[in-house]
Amino acid sequence: MNPFLDVPADSGFGLHNLPYGVFSHGDGGARVGVRLGDYVVDLAALETHGLVAAAGAGRAPVFSQPALNAFMALGPDAWSAVRERLQDLLSDSGDPALREGGAVREAAVLPLADVTMHLPARIGDYTDFYSSRQHATNVGTMFRGPENALKPNWLHLPVGYHGRASSVVVSGTDVVRPSGQTRPDDDAPPTFGPSKRLDIELELGFFVGPGNELGDPISISDADRHIFGFVLVNDWSARDIQKWEYVPLGPFLGKSFATSVSPWVVPYEALAPFRVDGEPQDATAGNPEPLPYLRQRGPRALDVDLEVRLQTSSMDEGGEVVAQTTARNLYWSPEQQLAHHTVNGCNARPGDLMASGTISGEDPGSYGSLLEMTWSGKNPLSLPGGETRTFLEDGDRVTITGEARRDGVAVGFGEVTGRVLPPRP
């Protein structure tokens, strides 16, 4: 089955993917679309013309809304039905109203370059985990030494903290350098000023679909039915502010100034061919077996390739690749993250964002943060033109991309990008 539009055979945005996003075009309001190649198909227009529907009898249309929350809330049966309908409708044997042109096609098929993308959901809550073993080991080694790199709880539960939903922004939004308290000299009082150790964190995030009632946990066996889809995440971090503030209650101002997400939400179902075995969580790998509520059957990891580019203000468009890694480096899966998050009865809601934490591999070229790439600033990155970086400077742009490919099937995530602006006076 081929798409009715001209989409290259190796495109990560073919009929197998069909990621959802929220866009606006011209004077029209924000609404829901899917990406097909370099086009956006307006689902609100298709809904209006009776070509696709997700709402049941008596329910309001879901695709004419400026966020995906209503669609997310419908659950996996509705998601699968819409996905199957779209794959048929957008194929070269689909509805003539789209294939042969006319008013419907003109209204519903828009060049990607002509639209503005928005946050895909109203994010009520945002949680950031710490699920990459190599990242946790690197950070622990830097600050506590190799003999105490992982805290005793790390191999028993997905460590996480509650982030700030109000400062989650869509890709392309500039990030103002944050100011706060730091203590560069342990023998002197703290000072106030702009962060000098501004960093990135390469992460993979997911949006919650149907939530759970307060007091009613989501089981590990049912967690997949509560995950709508995935996005790329850059959790910008002010390391110097974080270092001074985080004891004893963890990250606060060093994290809450900005978190960037990619605009296209890759459906959970689209990633089924890319589920692979992760690191064994049992004695075969010298790891403790998780408690029963975290034991997950089947493949846990996602075979998604990830890349970080850094572009300074003096570089050409595109910049320089500074890291390449894979989501296979996550020890704790999205399902385990969600099951742990709700095991105490915490209620998740449609549109809640949960991110993996920094994803790092075993060598410096696969580290997902500058903190690790430069080993806390001790080993500066060498860039073209003689430039170096330990942490980000004003004018720097960071772009994270992601893609999965296997057995002729490709799924693209697009990109999440952001540029650092000077601190506000």
With CA atoms as reference, report the closest residue to 408 among 10, 4, 140, 5: 10
> What's the Cα-to-Cα distance from 70 to each of 9, 196, 302, rounded to whole Å?
32, 41, 26
> Which residues, 6+ apart, have CB-to-CB distance to 249 below 8 Å?
none
User: Mean pLDDT score of the chain, rounded to an integer?
Assistant: 96
Could you tell me the two tokens for 292? 């029963």
> Which residues, 6+ apart, have CB-to-CB distance to 259 below 8 Å?
126, 128, 163, 164, 167, 168, 169, 233, 234, 235, 236, 355
Could you tell me the two tokens for 380? 């500066």
Above pLDDT 70, what percent of the chain? 99
* pLDDT band of 301, cuts 50, 70, 90: very high
* pLDDT band of 27, cuts 50, 70, 90: confident
Q: State the residue for tokens 């013309």.
A: 49
What is the model's pTM? 0.97
* pLDDT band of 353, cuts 50, 70, 90: very high
Could you tell me the two tokens for 347? 């209620």
Instruction: For residue 25, indicate whether it is catalytic.
Output: no
Mean pLDDT of 330-359: 98
Q: State the residue for tokens 């709700």.
A: 342
With CA atoms as reference, report the closest residue to 135 among 360, 378, 325, 375: 360
Check 16, 135, 340, 341 and give the catalytic one. Answer: 135
Above pLDDT 90, what percent of the chain? 93
* pLDDT band of 56, cuts 50, 70, 90: low
- Domains in the chain (CATH in brackets) are 20-118 (2.30.30.230), 126-421 (3.90.850.10)
Residues 314-335 pLDDT 10s: 998 989 999 999 999 999 999 9
Residue 32: what are its φ and ψ, rounded to 5°?
-95, 140
Element (H, E) at 107: helix 103-108
Could you tell me the two tokens for 388? 């170096």
Q: What is the largest CA-CA distance in the chain?
A: 74
Other C-beta atoms within 10 Å of 350: how many? Answer: 23
Indicate if the pLDDT at residue 57 is higher than 70. Answer: no
Mean pLDDT of 3-16: 95
Other C-beta atoms within 10 Å of 109: how many? Answer: 20
Residues 232-273 pLDDT 10s: 999 999 999 999 999 999 999 999 999 999 999 999 999 999
413 neighbors 202 (Cβ within 8 angstroms): no
> What's the Cα-to-Cα distance from 21 to each of 24, 57, 89, 154, rounded to whole Å?
10, 24, 18, 34
Residue 384, class by beta-carbon neighbours within 10 Å (0-12 exposed, 13-18 middle, 19+ buried)?
A: exposed
- Higher pLDDT pick, 55 / 172: 172
Residues 93-139 pLDDT 10s: 988 888 888 899 999 999 999 999 999 999 999 999 999 999 999 99
